[in-house]
Amino acid sequence: MNQTPVDKISSSQTAIILINMMLAAGILTLPRVATEKMMTPDAWITVIIGGLISMVIALVMVKLCERYPDQTFYQYNQEIVGKTIGSLINLAVVVYFLLLAALEIRIMVETTGLFLLPGTPTWAMIMPFIWIGLYLTLGGINAVARLLEIIFPITVLFFILVVFLGLKIFELDNLRPVLGMGVKPIVDGVPATALSYSGYEIILIIYMFMKNKAKAKKVVLIGIGVPLIFYAITVVVIIGALSVEGVLSQTWPVLTFIRGYEIKGLFFERFDSLLLVIWIMEIFSTFIVSYFAVAMGLAEVFKKDTKTFYWAILPVVYLIAMTPENINSLFALGDWVSKFGLLIFATIPGLLLLISFVRRERA
């Protein structure tokens, strides 16, 4: 691979990469996804629980990474379980990130085509997106991290703005009664909200590039804690504004919420289009980091230069992104990808950590 530990990123850049990986298209549908599993206004509780579970899994990943500080997950898992099994694990991880990259692109196209550029061919929106991503990732992890440092504060400021401007249509009664149907709906809803935190697993890939690895635990807690706050606020505000029934009737409830109010006298009176422009940058962030992870994994499996795979996977991402026939098949693909990622990253890092402990004890 052409990526080496010389290409370092700071602790703050690592946290921002984690945050941007999670704050992508999922937040636009999270209130509906969480609510339809529960049918109660308590979805915000499951969001918090899902975030805490994700933190525990991420800390296990960091513990594993600390045992192999100068290697990526793609390298040290082969050392732990052997080249054959390690390569199969690497291919599974590569498939996950490849599908995630394509999924984010297609969601971007669906929302852009519906709200910003109606009638524009799908290929015409996908091609510029992936070519710009290719150009950026060719610069390595440092170039990616610097761009995300620019995107993140813009996203935070605008998110706070649109949420609090819409509080005038917020009704606290829509969130009551708390635990009105007991604990069971919350237990049923936790898996769905836990899937919304997909993205923190990138720490397995980028840990090697951290300048100060001693801060990795703090970084992942911040990296998941910020999306947790974003998600909890979003779910509370959207359900409070639209009610459970209103959320369930909308494909993109966050956009419906923003379209539900106007602020007279400002330069922007309607904020939905501006929100989409901002959120497209977040979707782009998830895409480029996933694209970077795919190229690194393939380079390790096939022992070739990373840049070769940046070019090789471009048409594959395009073809996968074009595969879903409609919005329902797109959501079905997204649900499958999330479950596939949860299966891999909730089990394999823990098993590898256990095996590495046993092997070193016997050595």
In the chain, where the domains are located: 11-352
Span 20-29, average pLDDT: 79
Q: How confident is the model at residue 266 (pLDDT cuts 50, 70, 90)?
A: low
For residue 219, the model assigns a pLDDT of: 95
Per-residue burial over 273-298, b if 16 or more Cβ lie within 10 Å, else e, is eebbebbbbbbbbbbbbbbbbbbbbb
3.40.50.300, 1.20.1430.10, 1.20.1740.10, 1.10.3720.10: CATH of 11-352: 1.20.1740.10
Span 291-297, average pLDDT: 93
Beta bridge partners of 210: 9
For residue 3, the model assigns a pLDDT of: 46
The pTM for the full model equals 0.90
Instruction: Answer yes or no: is pLDDT of 30 > 90.
Output: no
For residue 334, the model assigns a pLDDT of: 83
Q: Average model confidence (pLDDT) for the chain?
A: 85
- Percentage of the chain lying above the pLDDT 90 cut: 36
pLDDT tens-digit profile of 106-158? 988 888 887 778 888 888 889 988 999 999 999 889 999 999 999 888 888 88
For residue 180, the model assigns a pLDDT of: 78
Instruction: Answer yes or no: is pLDDT of 55 > 90.
Output: yes
Span 194-198, average pLDDT: 79
Instruction: Answer yes or no: is pLDDT of 4 > 60.
Output: no
For residue 281, the model assigns a pLDDT of: 85
For residue 265, the model assigns a pLDDT of: 52
For residue 174, the model assigns a pLDDT of: 84
Q: How confident is the model at residue 2 (pLDDT cuts 50, 70, 90)?
A: very low
Q: Residue 210: what are its φ and ψ, rounded to 5°?
A: -70, 135
Sign of torsion over alpha carbons 153, 159, 164, 165? positive
Of the candidates 53, 57, 94, the residue with the CA atom closest to the CA atom of residue 72 = 94
Instruction: Answer yes or no: is pLDDT of 244 > 70.
Output: yes
Span 73-81, average pLDDT: 91
Which residues have CB under 8 Å from 218's CB, separation 6+? 11
Contact 77, 64 (CB under 8 A): no
Of the candidates 296, 297, 257, the residue with the CA atom closest to the CA atom of residue 91 = 297
Which residues have CB under 8 Å from 212's CB, separation 6+? 10, 11
Contact 5, 206 (CB under 8 A): no
Rounded to 10 deg, the angle between the 327-362 and 184-195 helix axes is 90
pLDDT tens-digit profile of 144-195? 999 999 988 888 888 888 777 777 788 888 888 888 777 888 888 887 787 7
Cα separation of the two ends of the chain: 30
Q: How confident is the model at residue 263 (pLDDT cuts 50, 70, 90)?
A: low
Q: How far apart are CA 219 and CA 18, in angstroms?
A: 9
Helices (H), 207-325: 216-248, 253-259, 272-302, 306-312, 314-322
For residue 361, the model assigns a pLDDT of: 58
Q: How far apart are CA 46 and CA 125, in angstroms?
A: 35
Sign of torsion over alpha carbons 266, 271, 277, 279? positive
Radius of gyration of the chain (CA): 20
pLDDT tens-digit profile of 11-21? 999 999 999 88
For residue 261, the model assigns a pLDDT of: 66
pLDDT tens-digit profile of 308-327? 899 999 999 999 999 988 88
Per-residue burial over 186-196, b if 16 or more Cβ lie within 10 Å, else e, is beebbebbbbb
Instruction: Answer yes or no: is pLDDT of 349 > 60.
Output: yes
For residue 283, the model assigns a pLDDT of: 87
For residue 116, the model assigns a pLDDT of: 77
Contact 200, 132 (CB under 8 A): no
